[in-house]
Structure 1
Amino acid sequence: MKKYSGFFGCLFLALSGTLFGQVNDADWPAYGGDPSGMRHAALSQITPENLHRLKVAWTYRTGELAYYQQNNAAEKAAFEATPLMVEGVLYLSTPSNRVIALDPATGAEKWTFDPKVNLKEDYSEITSRGVSTWPGPDEVGKDRERRIFLATIDGRLIALSAATGKPIPEFGRKGTIDLRRGIGPISVTSPPAIIGNTVITGSSMGDNQRLDYERGVVRAFDVLTGKLKWRWDPIPRKADDPARATWKGKKAAQTGAANAWSILSVDPERNLVFIPTTSPSPDYYGGERVGRNEYANSIVALRASTGKLVWHFQTVHHDLWDYDNAAQPALISVERDGGEVPAVAVGTKMGHIFLLHRETGKPLFPVEERPVPQSKVPGEQAYPTQPFPVLPLPVGPQQVRIEDAWGLTEADREVAEERIASLVNEGPFTPPSLQGTMVTPSNAGGVHWGGVSYDPGRNLLITNINRLVAVIRLIPREKLKEEEGKNEALLRAETGLQEGTPYVLKRDYLFTRSQEGLRMQTKPPWGTLLAIDMNSGERKWEVPLGFMYDPQTYPDAVNWGSINFGGALTTASGLTFVAASLDGFFRAFATETGELLWQSQLPAGGQSTPMSYQLNGKQYLVISAGGHGKLGTPLGDYVVAYALD
């Protein structure tokens, strides 16, 4: 139903105009382009034939670098925002949660709003993926001014006047709702969802330091007053909820998280909001929460007006791998039995892509429960089976063997072989171990928060993936200092205290670090871009995305791909635009074939998702280029717009 032509296209536009505000194909009114998160621009001025004329139209600098320096925040900062374009104004947020309005033709600043977030708090990451807009008029037909909604890393929901950038005093308390009140020190890193006169937000939190994290509640507020409409807890607390029986153990009720930190999608026609939930806390040990842990690691459809559960589909049972549903669910339509069926496409960190019926949650391709390796860690009970989609086939590596070892030199390869031989991997869903487990795809692998895009005219789902292997080791708490004293690499690895459990987490990846950068230890490619036909479930093509080593020194590096964060954009003219890779290039590929057609060097890392709009007859492409502190890409504070010269 997302083909903007014929009867279905007219119906969609009519419904979205009634329930969500009129959507103009030239605008980009939501994070994913539309409320359904397809990340597709129905624009065709920029084509494969004229790509060579694509040039920088304007560049705007946010001034964020000064904020990082003042607050020692550079190592955690990531400019991941996708701007909005509505009614002739571009709106975006910065990692420090400042909101900026720009002239979309020139990049000239119209106004800024600074919520004055204290960047010295202990945030896992300093980022904001964007803002949301409520278009009006409201449901009773009274004209209201456009609002911009910002959810902050210090746990606030703020309503701003789109015209002035000033807080709207009648919303909450002087324009602000304290999302931490009654919950605890949560953050929000993704834009809230808007449906009708309701704004809905999830939350973000670090989830490896203790068992009893905050509750990952999803809440809905009135867009005009800020009054709470409903709240939904992904961990079932009521005795009459049938899912509660899937959480067993004396401490199961203390479990937190299972939150929705990624982007929500909405279906105004069906009055549904789709929630991608995450792992319960802590990520890598579940002995205190034995069972399937339903509603966690799930796609959950709620009635948007009431918050009542309509259906849920669990992508991982009893998560032990930090396999959050990080990608926004994409609401698409597919052909079945000669007709169009409303669907939800779900990309996961495991490299599994599930296609579900949007109204029931039933899989549209077969899903099999298959036996998986069991845990040898005392106290743990890994779930005996996991859901595997028959189609599409998994993306990314599903197992690591000694023959997968790789190095820039023969000595590097031998080190990689030795390391792989010392670790455990029995295929997908190998549980964490005391010896050390290779998890592939990793918590950063498969489809991450960059998500998927969907070209409705070609029925192609496009996604970029990471092929990165994590090394997970659990250490009995009383033996931590002893083990670190014996193993310098273990001392350097990331530590999750997992308080409330018997084990401390140590997490690393199959690479080493040197003055020259990362030295990968598994065979390339390490990042790819691929296309899947969502009618048949067949993969149409897959190509390396970016490079991590200097091609002048290593000519084959252009075929090795790159670790990548950020998503892709498709256009009606058959182009797929994506940055995301560590090399800092913004690229265009042919959607039909995967052929690389164009690339442009960005002034800083492009770990974000681009968007496109048309203004005064000219199509623009815009991307945030500010780098990613944890990935080590060059930091900056650029917003770059491209157009045909």
Structure 2
Amino acid sequence: MTHGCRTLLVVAAIAVGTIPALAQDVDWRLHNLDLAGSRFAETEQITPENAHLLQPRWLFQHGVIDGVSNQTTPVIVDGIMYVTDSRGSVYAVNAADGHLLWLYDVTELLGGGRQQGYVFRHRGVTYDDGVVYSAAGSFMFALDAKTGEPLEGFGEGGQASVILDVLKPQYADVDTAISMGYWFTSAPQIHNGVLYVGSTRSESRIPGGHVLAIDAKTGEVLWHFNTVPQSEADQGWDIAGPTWVGGGREGGGIWETPSIDPELNMMYVAVGNPFGDSTLRAGLNLFSDSIVALSLDTGQLQWYYQLVHHDVWDYDNGQQPILFDMQVDGQPVKALAQANKNSWLYILDRETGNPVHPIIETPVPTETETEGEQPWPTQPIPHKANGDRMEPVSPVFPLDIPPEHAAGKRLVEQYTPLGQDIIFAPGMGGGASYGPIAYSPDTGLLYVNAIDRPFNAGRGPKGYFSAYDPTTGELVWRQIFEGYGQGGAVVTKGGVVFVGTGSNIAGYFFAYDARTGEELWRYNTGSGIYASPAVYMVDGEEFVTVASGGGSRGRRGGDLILSFALPSQ
């Protein structure tokens, strides 16, 4: 059911720790702030000393409570916030008080968020040069940022059927991209007038995920790359083709936004899991579960690194790769980090794709109950600079299983082939999900949210929020809480890191000291937080904002966008 849009202005009555009135704005223009996906906000008003004073300043309700959690990350430019609901409709609100300015409704176009048996989800928009871009359903939309009107000249009436444009030459009888299982879940990236986006979905029989480069003025597809090459006509066939044996070549969707390094002229895409009967796809199954680096101009493959071989556990890459620079043994390193649903954190040199610290091909169980299955005998396990195995972002062996539930079942090692009555960790819904990593150049730490949810666990999930030193691979601090650690974090120049958690009964929004991990503040939003926060300033005042609301797997529904700030003068 869709209700009217509502806004509540929360008036702060406390004057303690008030903020200075500086006429300054700090924007959040791209999905994860910048091309690198750093999620590092250059704001300093909120600090470890005053974060406990944070109050809800306003909330906005878009009125859409579907069977999918509220996953949008707000984009804020020139005092206007742009958010989406799970169907992909776009809302512009005043970032200072939450009042609705305009709405672009795609409900009718996208069948109320459901088509061909699929339920859409949406994680936000991106902004460039007065235009808001949104990838929803299987379309790319371009909207005037001030009015919400579709951009004339972009596709047909402001919407471009970009996935269908790519599929048609090979699948002439296809009328809609969604009929083949293709749609978008992520916001596009944009650089120099070109949009970059990946199509999902891995839990479908799609013949590979497509990375698209799209002209931001016209909606024309400039080039595309298939993550699971289907024939010799597809780039990368010579590498990936022989790694699929038995006829199956499905999956490899792209769940989140690409990252871009303009100096290297490269973009980086995190590819999802293979799909289908594992007995029909013997081999590594490239480029599934890989980080793929492509040239910005042409989409030519530069390098790849596979994080999981021959995946049968749904251990895919759900988040945007994060790019950052650091010093290792006195030498500069252009790094990339990716946390996987297998609970391991991978740190690569983004120029070459080589590991910064050892990643060791480690023998894993291969005895299987499935006739004809050929499990891969090793998996790449990250190690620290000193050679010890890294601490995973969440447990890789099932813990805290209720004894009555464990009776008659086997607790098995990670990467054990699937079978009857086994419990393993992480399960399909565990590890690091779509929530992005944050990086602070001030602390030098990566901040990773993850889920401890073993397969067939007999208990609820726990959130693991961790800070790692990427120069050594060491775990620096960790907070563990009840519920899903699914959304990403944001860290500020002021030394505070924010993250949310989701459960059936609550959705706590936390502030931690970015250096020490000390909890500074928490707020119960009333429904689970499965989204990633953003930080911005309007008229000299710093806000932190997050979407709250579950909607599936028994979660309490919700449609809130909340913004918090220090008490006003």
Alignment TM class, shorter chain as reference? 0.7 to 0.9
Q: Cα distance 1:348–1:248, how it changes in 2: closer, same or farther (>3 A)?
A: closer
Match of 2:94 in 1: 103
Match of 1:423 in 2: 410
Deviation at 1:61, TM superposition (A): 1.4
Residue correspondence of structure 1 range 15-414 to structure 2 within 5 A? 26-65=26-65, 74=66, 76-116=67-107, 117-119=110-112, 120-122=114-116, 124-135=118-129, 146-152=130-136, 154-181=137-164, 182=167, 183=177, 184-205=180-201, 207=203, 212-239=205-232, 241-252=237-248, 255-282=249-276, 285-376=277-368, 377-391=370-384, 392-400=390-398, 404-407=399-402, 413=403
Q: Cα distance 1:56–1:123, how it changes in 2: closer, same or farther (>3 A)?
A: farther
How far apart, CA to CA, are the structure 2 residues paired with 1:147 and 1:189? 20
Structure 1: tracts of 5 or more residues without a match: 1-23, 66-73, 136-145, 408-412, 471-508, 512-518, 546-560
How far apart, CA to CA, are the structure 1 residues paired with 2:267 and 2:335? 13
Q: Is the 8 A contact 2:76 2:82 kept in 1?
A: yes
Deviation at 1:124, TM superposition (A): 4.7
- 578-587 or 186-195, which deviates more: 578-587
Cα deviation code 1:408-431 (max 9, x no counterpart):
xxxxx3x2231xx42361x12111
> Which AA in structure 1 matches 2:71?
E
Cα deviation code 1:300-320 (max 9, x no counterpart):
011111111011010011111
How far apart, CA to CA, are the structure 2 residues paired with 1:570 and 1:61? 25
Deviation at 1:609, TM superposition (A): 0.8
How far apart, CA to CA, are the structure 2 residues paired with 1:122 and 1:544? 39
Q: 2:499 aligned to 561, 575, 578, which one?
A: 578
- 580-589 or 346-355, which deviates more: 580-589
The secondary structure found in structure 1 opposite 2:465 is: strand
Q: Is the 8 A contact 2:138 2:184 kept in 1?
A: yes
How far apart, CA to CA, are the structure 1 residues paired with 2:561 and 2:367? 47
> Which AA in structure 2 matches 1:605?
G
Q: Is the 8 A contact 1:405 1:416 kept in 2?
A: no
> Which AA in structure 2 matches 1:237?
Q
The secondary structure found in structure 2 opposite 1:312 is: strand
Q: Which has the higher contact order (CA 8 A, sep 6+)?
A: 2
> Which AA in structure 2 matches 1:60?
F
Cα deviation code 1:354-398 (max 9, x no counterpart):
111111111101111111111422111011111111123323222
The alignment status of 1:466 with 2:451, answered yes or no, reads: yes
Match of 1:643 in 2: 565
How far apart, CA to CA, are the structure 2 residues paired with 1:510 and 1:449? 22
The secondary structure found in structure 2 opposite 1:52 is: helix
Deviation at 1:92, TM superposition (A): 1.1
Q: Cα distance 1:417–1:443, how it changes in 2: closer, same or farther (>3 A)?
A: closer
The secondary structure found in structure 1 opposite 2:111 is: coil
Cα deviation code 1:130-169 (max 9, x no counterpart):
001123xxxxxxxxxx1111111x2111111112111112
The alignment status of 1:616 with 2:539, answered yes or no, reads: yes
Cα deviation code 1:177-225 (max 9, x no counterpart):
11442253412111011121111221222626xxx43431111110011
Structure 2: tracts of 5 or more residues without a match: 1-23, 168-176, 385-389
Q: Cα distance 1:159–1:123, how it changes in 2: closer, same or farther (>3 A)?
A: farther
Deviation at 1:605, TM superposition (A): 2.3
The secondary structure found in structure 1 opposite 2:406 is: helix
Q: Cα distance 1:450–1:570, how it changes in 2: closer, same or farther (>3 A)?
A: same
Deviation at 1:459, TM superposition (A): 0.6
How far apart, CA to CA, are the structure 1 residues paired with 2:392 and 2:527? 32
Deviation at 1:95, TM superposition (A): 0.8
Match of 1:632 in 2: 554
Deviation at 1:572, TM superposition (A): 1.3
Q: Cα distance 1:248–1:111, how it changes in 2: closer, same or farther (>3 A)?
A: closer
Q: Is the 8 A contact 2:294 2:300 kept in 1?
A: yes
Q: Cα distance 1:219–1:566, how it changes in 2: closer, same or farther (>3 A)?
A: same
How far apart, CA to CA, are the structure 2 residues paired with 1:174 and 1:278? 32
How far apart, CA to CA, are the structure 2 residues paired with 1:251 and 1:439? 29
- 317-326 or 338-347, which deviates more: 338-347
How far apart, CA to CA, are the structure 2 residues paired with 1:104 and 1:442? 38
Match of 2:424 in 1: 439
The secondary structure found in structure 1 opposite 2:201 is: coil
How far apart, CA to CA, are the structure 1 residues paired with 2:118 and 2:476? 37
Q: Cα distance 1:213–1:50, how it changes in 2: closer, same or farther (>3 A)?
A: same
> Which AA in structure 1 matches 2:467?
A
> Which AA in structure 2 matches 1:637?
D
Q: Is the 8 A contact 1:124 1:206 kept in 2?
A: no
The alignment status of 1:533 with 2:469, answered yes or no, reads: yes
Q: 2:457 aligned to 503, 510, 513, which one?
A: 510
> Which AA in structure 2 matches 1:366?
P
Cα deviation code 1:4-53 (max 9, x no counterpart):
xxxxxxxxxxxxxxxxxxxx981111111111111121211011111232
Match of 1:544 in 2: 480
Q: Is the 8 A contact 1:430 1:437 kept in 2?
A: no
Cα deviation code 1:484-528 (max 9, x no counterpart):
xxxxxxxxxxxxxxxxxxxxxxxxx312xxxxxxx44xxxx8222
Q: Is the 8 A contact 1:367 1:390 kept in 2?
A: yes
How far apart, CA to CA, are the structure 1 residues paired with 2:400 and 2:208? 41
Deviation at 1:125, TM superposition (A): 4.1
How far apart, CA to CA, are the structure 2 residues paired with 1:536 and 1:48? 26
How far apart, CA to CA, are the structure 2 residues paired with 1:406 and 1:229? 51
The secondary structure found in structure 1 opposite 2:346 is: strand
How far apart, CA to CA, are the structure 2 residues paired with 1:194 and 1:230? 15
Cα deviation code 1:226-269 (max 9, x no counterpart):
111001011123447332344343413xx222111222111222
Q: Cα distance 1:25–1:458, how it changes in 2: closer, same or farther (>3 A)?
A: farther
Q: Is the 8 A contact 2:68 2:551 kept in 1?
A: yes
Cα RMSD of the aligned pairs, angstroms, is 1.9
Cα deviation code 1:94-126 (max 9, x no counterpart):
112110111111111111101222134255543
Cα deviation code 1:447-502 (max 9, x no counterpart):
111131111111111112111111xxxxxxxxxxxxxxxxxxxxxxxxxxxxxxxx
> Which AA in structure 2 matches 1:98?
S
**TM-score for both structures, normalised by structure 1:** 0.77
% same residue? 31
Deviation at 1:343, TM superposition (A): 0.6
